[in-house]
Amino acid sequence: MGTISLKNISKSFGSTQVLNNLNVDINDGEFLTLVGPSGCGKSTLLRIIAGLEQQTSGDVLIDNKNVNRVRASERDLAMVFQSYALYPHLTVRRNLETPLRLRDYNAFERLPLIGNFSPSKKDKTESINQLVNKTSETLKISELLDRKPGQLSGGQRQRVALGRAMVREPVAFLMDEPLSNLDAALRVHMRSELSELHNSLKTTFVYVTHDQAEALTMSSRMAVMIDGNLLQLDTPQEVYDNPSSLSVAQFVGSPKINIFKGTADSSGTVSFLNVNLKRKSSESNTDLHIGIRPEHLEITNESNENTFSGTVAYRENLGSDIFFHVNIEDGSNKIIVRGLPQFTNQISNGSNVNIKRVSDKALLFSEAGMRVQFTNA
Amino acid sequence: MEAKQYIGEGWKHAILIIGAIVVMLPFYMMVSMSLKSQQEIQSISGGLIGAQETQTFPVCVKTGYSEETCTMKPYQYNYWFAFEKAPIPRYLMNGVIVTLSIFIIQVLVALPCAYALAKLRFYGREFVFSMVLFCLLIPVHGIALPLYVMLAQAGLVDTYSALILPWTISVFGIFLMRQFFMTVPDELIDAARMDGMGEYAIVWKVMLPTAIPALLAFAIFSVVAHWNDYFWPRMVITGNRDLFTPPLGIREFRGGIDSDEFGPMMASIVTVTVPLIVAFIIAQKRFIEGITLTGMK
């Protein structure tokens, strides 16, 4: 089992409130990602779960047991750090053995030399060796066991750090931005490896990242945190399609969602630029933000009451897609439109383009940034 | 390389060579005098090793040895007589006991202190650290007298304790190690905590191995300072020759009935200095190798 519940967790450093009354229930075997911009308190939350930091108020429950007063080492969690934090003076094998030695050997057996006289030590050493060998085979680091961390590449260190967490077979893994020190290609590769590892281990993963792409690709659920508040906790698809607030919508998705200023009239009809939406807002007579993701806008040859036009300021070619940064004619907005290369190859910087929407994809947000629903949606 | 650059390099080397000569000259004199006879030393003749003529040494005869025993080459005589006149091995052993005890206890105290000051958050930490800095400003000689009185009251004068105890807490060591520990990433300590290490285990099993280079630097300061210390042993060792440290031992050769005899005196100084130089050369290699924190990032 590996359920973790956070109940009303708050944390402040002096007068600075870092976490604001957070409630999260993490299911057994789940890959939960805590995602948010730097400084949003996600790492602090992870350290509170780990027991490395004490919450100012609230409870942490692991497998329904309150662990507020339980030390980090006794919570049976394993953590992978951003800098890997391998012991630089020990070989890879000893790095992997360390958590097991500390758990399995008693104080006497850990003594140098005379500890070897303990009768039970031999069996324990045997089982430790087996676990280390098994783990290193899973992670394909068997041939690195006799090296020191200084002689390993970033990706190899990453695996060793994972291995050190895995050997103990903990109830849950906590990962603090484990991929952020890797180069881009390796990072993408490790994403899939981590997902596979999670599938085969079936253990709870709590994963902290500031990279929304990692959260979207790997997690079963993601928790979006901004400024110490938990804004939304849901599956990646749901968070992407149905963000609860403007900040979540802007944080998740790359390139960023386009935001237009608009209004809803007394009948609830939403209009922005020269365009009216078909669906009606549930709030009338108010200013609104209309969010449309870049892939829900298209470059078109038509020009009618449903399109608006602008000038291409910058063309970002990713091969599979081309993103056009477009200045809207009235000068108020700079938006991003996705185009498929086969249709938009001819368009260059400075050209005038017409843009139309894919229907039923716009999102409404109130002036304060809260989500506003459509009446008939 | 251009000729101009050679000249530039030449200037640097010329200056460095002059500096080296100034530093090395006393050592040259010491070694040379430890090999030559008294006449050669006083007449400043004979170059590095002198003529090495077999002769009978009057001071030796005066001390009570037979003339036959006292007839030998000067270098033999100097070293033989140095060891005859004073129990130099005993002094060396005292030196080793005192400096090693001081260093080991200093490390036992300084490492946990430095760890707490660098990595633990507790009320009053900054104040404690400022007191450590303050203590760096106190000159040893300023508190020598009160220290002596306290040791005397405790009945510890003329014991090893008197030589060791006052030096066991090294604020310099605490400061140096604290500065080094500040550079060790917090994540390494958190990882050790997650693995199940207690705070003391972290100090000895994680911090100590990463701090070897800093510790060696401190070892050289500490060992050299206390091996060469003359002032403090002179104060607290008043009568018992068995407790003399090497610098006190050298004093045995000064003055007295047989006047100043420089040969044996220099021979004893060479014997006292050599262990330090050897230790330094061995440590120097470790300095350069030193375990770095490259495994961290």
Average pLDDT value for residue range A322-337: 84
Residues of chain B with Cβ-Cβ distance to A96 below 8 Å are none
Average pLDDT value for residue range A206-227: 92
Give the closest of B185, B190, B297 to A181, CB-based. Answer: B297
pLDDT of amino acid B286: 64
Q: CB distance from B121 to chain A under 8 Å?
A: no
- Complete DSSP assignment for B218-233: HHHHHHHHHHS--HHH
A31-35 vs A204-209, strand pairing mode: parallel
Q: Say if residue B78's pLDDT is above 90.
A: no
Q: Given pLDDT bands bounded at 50, 70 and 90, which one contains residue B189?
A: very high
Identify which of B86, B30, B98 has the alpha carbon closest to the alpha carbon of residue B245.
B98
What six digits make up the tokens of A120? 């039970």
Instruction: For B190, name the nearest residue in chain A, comparing CA atoms only.
Output: A52
Q: CB distance from B197 to chain A under 8 Å?
A: yes
Residues of chain B with Cβ-Cβ distance to A72 below 8 Å are 190, 193-194
CB A113 within 8 A of CB A208: no
Q: How many CB atoms lie within 10 A of CB B105?
A: 16
Looking at per-residue pLDDT, the higher value among A276 and B189 belongs to B189
Q: Given pLDDT bands bounded at 50, 70 and 90, which one contains residue B287?
A: low
Q: Say if residue A234's pLDDT is above 70.
A: yes
What is the model's pTM? 0.81
Average pLDDT value for residue range B61-69: 81
- Domains for chain A: give ranges and CATH numbers: 4-246 (3.40.50.300), 255-372 (2.40.50.140)
pLDDT tens, position by position, B124-147: 999 999 999 999 998 888 899 999
Q: Determine if residue A84 is left, alpha or beta; phi over 0 gives left, psi from -120 to 50 gives alpha, anything else beta.
A: left
Looking at per-residue pLDDT, the higher value among A343 and B82 belongs to B82
CB B152 within 8 A of CB B166: no
pLDDT of amino acid A377: 46
The secondary element (H helix, E strand) that includes residue A235 is none
Q: Given pLDDT bands bounded at 50, 70 and 90, which one contains residue B290?
A: very low
Q: Locate tokens 């002179």: which residue?
A: B234
Q: Do A148 and B197 touch (CB under 8 A)?
A: no
pLDDT tens, position by position, A58-81: 999 999 999 999 988 889 899 999
Give residue limits of the domains in chain B. Answer: 3-85, 88-253
Q: Locate tokens 């708050």: which residue?
A: A10
Share of chain B above pLDDT 90, in %: 40
Q: Do B193 and A86 touch (CB under 8 A)?
A: no
What six digits make up the tokens of A256? 């960023």
The secondary element (H helix, E strand) that includes residue A165 is helix A154-166
Complex prediction ipTM: 0.83
Q: Say if residue A376's pLDDT is above 50.
A: yes
Identify which of A237, A335, A345 has the alpha carbon closest to the alpha carbon of residue A292.
A335
> Which fold does the domain B88-253 belong to in CATH?
MetI-like fold (1.10.3720)
N-terminal to C-terminal alpha carbon distance within chain B = 38
pLDDT of amino acid A237: 94
Alpha-carbon distance B214 to nearest alpha carbon in chain A (angstroms):
15
Average pLDDT value for residue range A88-93: 91
Count residue pairs from A and B with Cβ separation < 8 A: 79
Average pLDDT value for residue range B160-179: 92
Q: How many CB atoms lie within 10 A of CB A14?
A: 5
Residues of chain B with Cβ-Cβ distance to A84 below 8 Å are 296
- Strand boundaries in A227-281, DSSP class E: 229-234, 258-264, 269-272, 275-280
- Complete DSSP assignment for A295-356: GGEEEES--STTEEEEEEEEEEE-SS-EEEEEEETTSS-EEEEEE-HHHHTT--TT-EEEEE
What six digits make up the tokens of B184? 């060790």
pLDDT of amino acid A62: 93
Residues of chain A with Cβ-Cβ distance to B190 below 8 Å are 47, 50, 52, 72, 79, 81, 85
Q: CB distance from B295 to chain A under 8 Å?
A: yes
Range in B106-110, B111-115, B257-261 the model is least confident about? B257-261
For residue B38, give every residue at least 6 positions away whose Cβ sits within 8 Å of its Cβ, in sequence order, or none: B57, B261, B262, B263
pLDDT of amino acid B258: 55
Q: Determine if residue A350 is left, alpha or beta; phi over 0 gives left, psi from -120 to 50 gives alpha, anything else beta.
A: left
Q: CB distance from B10 to chain A under 8 Å?
A: no
Q: Do A81 and B210 touch (CB under 8 A)?
A: no
